[in-house]
Amino acid sequence: MSVHTPEDVRKVTTHRLFEMKQRGEKISMITSYDYTMASIVDEAGVDVILVGDSASNVVAGNVTTLPITLDQMIFLGKSVVKAVKRALVVVDMPFGTYQVSETEAVSNAIKIMKITHADALKLEGGIEIIDAVRKILAAGIPIMGHLGLMPQSINKYGTYNVRAKEQDEAEKLIADAKALEEAGCFAIVLEKIPAALAQRVAQEVHIPIIGIGAGGDVDGQVLVLHDMLGMTKGFSPRFLRRYADLNTVINEAVSHYVEDVKSCDFPNKNEQY
Ligand code: KIV
C-alpha cells in the first residue's frame, strides 16, 4: 500500500492553503471528532482537519446536524486540537450560534477559539450571514465558508439532493462565493453541487474551494471520516469513495473478543498478573 508522507511538516496555515491553490497543489481535508482519530489522521498527512457538525450524526446519533450544541462542539474541538501537530484545524459553528445577531455570533466564535485553540471556524451561508462573517473576521478569526448543500438548512430544503442545478440558485451561489471572498474568508466548502458550477466558482474566486460531491475541478476535497472509512452503513451517495471497511473489521474483532471471553480463551496465562 502506498503511503503519502507530506514533504513539508510545518503547521499548515491559511496562507499556505492559498499558496497551494496558486501552484495547483490539491488540498486534502477530512473530519475528526476525537483525540485518537485526529492524531492518526494528522500523522497520515491531511492538510485540514474539520471538526464538523456532522458529529451530530456520526457521533451523537442525531438525524440532522441541527441539535449539536456549542458546548458539544467545543468539547470535540478541544480534543482534536490537542492531537494535531501539522494540519489546520477548523471547527464548525453549530446551528443557531451565528444567525441571531452579529454580536452573539462573534461572542460564540471567540468562545470556540479561546477554549479549543482551533485555527479557524466554518459557517454555512452566503450573503444572508455576511454581517456575522465580517464581524468574526474583524475579531481576527479566520473563516471558511460553506455553500451549496448546507445541512443546517435541511428543514428549508426538505431533501439532501444536489443543490444549484437551476440557474437562479447557481447564480446566487456564485454571488455568495464572491461575497465571502470579498469579506475575507480564506476558503469555501462547496457541497453537492454540479461539477461544472464548482469548477466555475474555483476559477472565479482566488481563495481555495474545497469540494464534497462537487467534482474534481476544485482546489481540494473533504470527506466525513466515518463515511470514507466505511464505518457508517446505509449512506452511499455517488460522491463517497470508501477507503476501508471498518464496519466489518470492527464487527469481526469485537465478535472474536466476545467468543474468546465466552469460551474462557481470554485472558490466558500470559495475559494476567
Ligand atoms: O460537518 C461536516 O462534516 C461538514 C463537511 C460535510 C464538509 O461540513
Q: Does 89 sit in the ligand 1 pocket, CB within 6 Å?
A: no
Same-domain check for residues 179 and 262: no
Convert the pLDDT of each residue in 182-195 to its tens digit: 999 999 999 999 99
* Sequence-distant contacts of 229-234: CB under 8 A, at least 24 apart: 231/58, 232/58
Structure confidence at residue 119 (pLDDT)? 98
pLDDT digits (tens, 9 = 90+) for 223-266: 999 999 999 988 999 999 999 999 999 999 999 999 999 999 99
Judge if 175 and 254 occupy the same domain.
no
271 catalytically annotated: no
d(CA 11, CA 24): 19
Cα-to-centroid distance, 244 and ligand 1 (Å): 19
- CB-ligand 1 contact for 31 (6 Å cutoff): yes
The answer to whether residue 5 is domain-embedded is: no
**Domains of the chain: total:** 2
For residue 273, what are the domain limits? 246-273
The model's pLDDT over 192-218, given as tens digits with 9 standing for 90+, comes to 999 999 999 999 999 999 999 999 999
Residues 148 and 238 in one domain: yes
The pLDDT assigned to 8 comes to 76
pLDDT band at residue 6 using 50, 70 and 90 as cut-offs:
confident
Q: Is 53 in the pocket of ligand 1 (CB under 6 A)?
A: yes
| 214 Cβ inside 6 Å of ligand 1 | no
- CATH number, position 168: 3.20.20.60
Residue with CA closest to ligand 1 atom 4: 52
In a domain, 4, yes or no: no
* Same domain, yes or no: 232 and 254: no
Q: Is 184 exposed, middle or buried (0-12, 13-18, 19+ CB in 10 A)?
A: middle
For residue 64, which of 158, 188, 133 has the smallest C-alpha distance?
A: 158
Same domain, 159 and 237: yes
For residue 4, the model assigns a pLDDT of 67
pTM above 0.95, yes or no: yes
For residue 79, name the pLDDT band (cuts at 50, 70, 90).
very high
Within this chain, do residues 27 and 140 fall inside the same structural domain, yes or no?
yes
User: Is 156 found in the same domain as 255?
Assistant: no
Q: Is 226 in the same domain as 266?
A: no
Is there a single domain that holds both residue 162 and residue 273?
no
Q: Assess if residue 226 is contained within a domain.
A: yes
Confidence of residue 5 (pLDDT cuts 50, 70, 90): low
- Number of neighbouring beta carbons within 10 Å of residue 229: 19
Within a domain: residue 121? yes
Domain membership of residue 1 (yes or no) is no
Which of 182, 191, 204, 259 is catalytic? The answer is 191
pLDDT digits (tens, 9 = 90+) for 112-164: 999 999 999 999 999 999 999 999 999 999 999 999 999 999 999 999 999 99
- Which of 97, 122, 160, 223 has the most ligand 1 atoms within 8 A of CB, as the residue to mutate? 122
In a domain, 259, yes or no: yes
Pair 20, 81 in one domain: yes
In a domain, 67, yes or no: yes
Confidence of residue 109 (pLDDT cuts 50, 70, 90): very high
Which set of grid coordinates corresponds to residue 12? 499548515
Which residues in 96-126 are b (16+ Cβ under 10 Å) and which e?
Answer: ebbbeebeebbebbeebbeebebbbbbbbbb
Is residue 254 domain-resident? yes
Ligand 1 and 145: CB distance under 6 A = no
pLDDT at 38 over 90: yes
Count how many residues are written for the chain. 273
Q: Same domain, yes or no, for 38 and 59?
A: yes
137, 209: one domain = yes
Ligand 1 pocket mutation pick from 41, 68, 92 by most atoms within 8 angstroms of CB? 92
